[in-house]
C-alpha cells in the first residue's frame, strides 16, 4: 500500500496527532514521542503516513545495526555524506535535525534499544532538541525506563497502538476492495478471530475478495462465507 493510499485508521490518526503535538510544543517541554504495541497493529503504516504528512526523516532499524551503521543509515536518509568519525557523524545528524526542524522517526526501535547504539538516540536529542519519534514493540517503554532513563524522562507523548476496531476494518475493506460489499457480520467475525491484528485483517480481506471474484459474488456476508477458513496466523492442522 502506497503512502498516498494509506487509510486513516485509528493508529494512523493517533500517531499523526501526537507528532503534531510534539512539534508544536512550548520550548520548555521535551520533544520525544513513542508509539508502542504488539506486532501487526499497523504501527509502521502509521509511521509512513506521519512521515509523509510532516516531512519527517524515516529510519527502519535492523537487528544487525552497530552504532556506526545506525548513524550512517540516518545520514543516508538525510542525503548527507558521512564524515570520518562516529562523533562527527552524530554531530551531522543533530545539526540537520536542528536546522531543518523536521522530525526523525525511528521505526522498529526494539532492535537497538538494548544495545549501545541506543545511547545515540539520547545524544541526538540532547544535541538537536528536535522532534524524535520512536516506534516499536510492546516492551519498548519498559526497556527505555531501564536502559535509557534520561530519554524516557523526555517523552512528551506515549502512544499505545490500538487493536483494530470494527470501524477500522470496515473502512479498510471499503478502500481496499470497493468492487465488492463485505457484510458487517463477516468483518466483525474476522476482527474477533484475529483479535484486532490489522495485518491479519488485511490477509483475510484479500482472501475474501479473491473468493468473491472466483464465485462471482458482488456481496459476501457471514452466511455466504459459510465454513471457509479465517486466517488467524495459526498453521492449519494436518488432514487425514
pLDDT of residue 1: 40
Low-confidence ranges of the chain (pLDDT < 50): 1-4
Closest CA relative to residue 200, chosen from 229, 174, 160: 229
pLDDT of residue 235: 65
**Whole-prediction pTM value?**
0.90
| Cβ 22 vs Cβ 182: under 8 Å | no
Q: Which CATH class is domain 3-160?
A: alpha beta
pLDDT of residue 15: 96
- The per-residue b/e assignment along 44-74, b for 16 or more CB within 10 angstroms, e otherwise, is bbbbbbbbeebebbbbbbeeebebeebbbbb
pLDDT of residue 236: 62
98 three-state secondary structure: helix
pLDDT of residue 8: 80
Domain boundaries of the chain, sorted by first residue: 3-160, 166-225
pLDDT of residue 151: 93
* Angle value at C-alpha 15, between 10 and 19, nearest 5 degrees: 150
pLDDT of residue 14: 96
Total Cβ atoms within 10 A of residue 100: 14
CA distance 14 to 90: 30
| Cβ 207 vs Cβ 231: under 8 Å | yes
pLDDT of residue 7: 74
Amino acid at each position: 500500500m502506497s503512502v498516498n493510499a494509506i487509510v486513516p485508521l485509528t493508529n494512523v490518526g493517533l500517531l499523526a496527532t501526537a507528532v503534531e503535538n510534539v512539534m508544536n510544543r512550548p520550548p520548555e517541554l521535551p520533544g520525544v514521542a513513542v508509539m508502542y504495541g504488539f506486532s501487526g497493529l499497523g504501527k509502521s503504516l502509521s509511521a509512513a503516513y506521519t512521515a509523509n504528512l510532516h516531512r519527517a526523516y524515516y529510519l527502519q532499524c535492523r537487528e544487525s545495526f552497530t552504532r556506526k551503521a545506525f548513524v550512517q543509515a540516518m545520514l543516508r536518509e538525510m542525503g548527507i555524506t558521512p564524515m570520518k568519525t562516529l562523533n562527527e557523524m552524530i554531530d551531522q545528524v543533530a545539526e540537520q535535525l536542528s536546522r531543518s526542524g523536521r522530525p526523525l522517526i525511528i521505526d522498529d526501535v526494539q532492535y537497538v534499544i538494548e544495545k549501545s547504539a541506543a545511547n545515540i538516540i539520547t545524544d541526538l536529542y540532547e544535541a538537536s532538541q528536535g522532534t524524535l519519534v520512536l516506534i516499536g514493540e510492546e516492551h519498548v517503554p519498559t526497556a527505555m525506563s531501564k536502559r535509557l532513563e534520561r530519554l524516557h524522562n523526555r517523552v512528551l507523548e506515549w502512544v499505545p497502538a490500538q487493536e483494530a476496531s470494527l470501524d477500522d476494518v470496515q473502512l479498510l475493506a471499503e478502500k481496499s476492495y470497493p468492487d465488492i460489499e463485505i457484510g458487517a457480520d463477516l468483518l466483525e467475525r474476522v476482527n474477533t478471530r484475529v483479535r484486532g491484528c490489522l495485518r491479519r485483517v488485511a490477509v483475510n480481506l484479500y482472501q475474501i475478495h479473491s473468493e468473491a471474484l472466483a464465485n462471482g459474488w458482488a456481496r459476501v456476508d457471514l452466511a455466504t462465507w459459510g465454513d471457509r477458513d479465517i486466517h488467524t496466523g495459526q498453521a492449519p492442522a494436518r488432514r487425514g
